[in-house]
Amino acid sequence: MALDATLLGILACPQDKGPLLLVGEELLYNPRLRRAYPIENGIPVLLIDEARDVDAEEHESLLARGQGNLGQPDGADSGPEA
């Protein structure tokens, strides 16, 4: 079950309150903090304790696979380099 575009537009990271990037149907990703939030049975689990940190290699992969608009122009810095 895919997340509705309207729902995706209002979901925010519980830590920095910024927009999230939908990656497939399995997770929501915050590239600014490099934190991935799972989607279980079509339901986003936006709990800080349930999120996991992402390393630099996975970060690039998630950005390439991500869908949605983070409100950043193309080429904008998506977070600190590791």
- E strand spans, 24-81: 27-30, 35-40, 43-44, 52-53, 66-67
Domain contains 42: yes
User: Residue 44: which domain range?
Assistant: 14-67
The count of structural domains within the chain is 1
Q: Which amino acid is at 77?
A: D
Domain contains 39: yes
Average pLDDT of the chain is 84
Domain contains 72: no
Domain contains 58: yes
Instruction: Record the pTM.
Output: 0.78
Domain contains 24: yes
**CATH at residue 51:** 2.20.25.10
Domain contains 81: no
Q: What is the pLDDT of residues 12-31, one digit of tens each?
A: 999 999 999 999 989 999 99
